[in-house]
Amino acid sequence: MTILRYGVIGVALLLTACGPRELEPDEPINNDNSERWNEAQDPFRIHGNTWYVGTAGLSSILIETDDGLILIDGGLPQSAPLIDANIRNLGFDTLDVKAILVSHAHYDHAGGVAALQRYTDAKVFASEPALEPLTNGRLTVDDPQYVADSDQGDFPAVREVVAVGDGEVVTVGSVDVKAVYTPGHTPGSTTWTWQSCALNVCYDVVYADSMTAVSAEGFKFTESGVADKLVASAGIIADLDCDILLSPHPFFFGMADKLERIDQGNPFINNVGCLLYAESSLQWLEQRLEAERH
């Protein structure tokens, strides 16, 4: 297994002439879902070193290490200030983010990454197939949601992205986060896994990428072969060591319902969560394929 190590370099930034560094978000993306997805959400601890810092409809996960912070996903462009505020409200400094990991290159999860990268100088990591759309800010032709001759789906381009291979690990401090390729929703979809410990109790956390069969008009999941990729990816997710399931959209792991039960123990711990997620994704796919047959 190859290990990608990002060490923290102590560099003193003298900003007296310019004043304190400020986060400068990109132009917002507004559509039928953006306002609802971008509603504010109070941050909270999921378990141990793992925190939720996203919005009500778009996940962003913070992992605390002994040598800086790891952030997974950046929501919409207009989500970046909310993510920054949530990180600070937990008592962390957003400027301590050393690595930003991307699940997939769609505007609602990668849209805020460019601004967060500019602000933190963090390295951005994604799968090899995600490099082109991330650095161009445009969907590739093999993405099910690609629309030819259109800027639909465009988002702020990320200036530099480090490719992570399937099964490779991004390490910050003593924390390893492994990339597991789960293509289908996009060609570069990536599930991220790590271990979270508290009071000598450790759990395997899985940030399972989106598995929905959503596409532009006219796209056929069967004819394109993407249906087979989704089936294979569902099997991969189902077989992962998984005590805590998370995903890019919080309703996929029942966040709102779980938060209502947070005072009854940790409701996020469920060792069949990944299996149920995989099974439900196959049900969604079958519904889509049935529609394509008619």
5 falls within a domain:
no
CATH number (domain holding residue 26): 3.60.15.10
Q: Contact, 107 vs 29, CB < 8 A? A: yes
Q: Which residue has the higher pLDDT, 11 or 214?
A: 214
Strand bridging mode 201-207 / 61-65: unpaired
Position 11 confidence tier, pLDDT thresholds 50, 70, 90: very low
Residue 152 in tokens:
């639909």
In the sheet that holds 175-181, the strands lie side by side as 3-5, 169-172, 175-181, 190-198, 201-207, 244-246
Judged against a pLDDT cut of 60, whether residue 18 lies above it is answered with no
> CA neighbours within 13 Å on the CB side: how many for 247?
24
Domain with 66 in it: 15-292
d(CA 65, CA 5): 13
Provide the number of structural domains found in the chain.
1
Provide the H-helix boundaries in 140-267: 221-224, 226-238, 255-260
The verdict on residue 6 lying in a domain is no
Report yes or no on 92 lying in a domain: yes
pTM of the full predicted structure? Answer: 0.94
Which residues lie below 8 Å from residue 239, measured CB to CB, with a gap of 6+? Answer: none
Distance in angstroms (rounded) separating the CA atoms of residues 281 and 89: 34
Q: Say if 4 falls within a structural domain.
A: no
Q: pLDDT tens for residues 55-103? A: 999 999 999 999 999 999 999 999 999 999 999 999 999 999 999 999 9
Q: Is residue 76 part of a domain?
A: yes
Side-chain-side CA neighbours of residue 160 (13 Å): 6
Does residue 52 lie within any of the structural domains? yes
Q: Is residue 10 part of a domain?
A: no
Q: For residue range 146-177, what is the model confidence (pLDDT) as tens digits?
A: 999 999 999 999 999 999 999 999 999 999 99
2 in any annotated domain: no
pLDDT digits (tens, 9 = 90+) for 192-222: 999 999 999 999 999 999 999 999 999 999 9
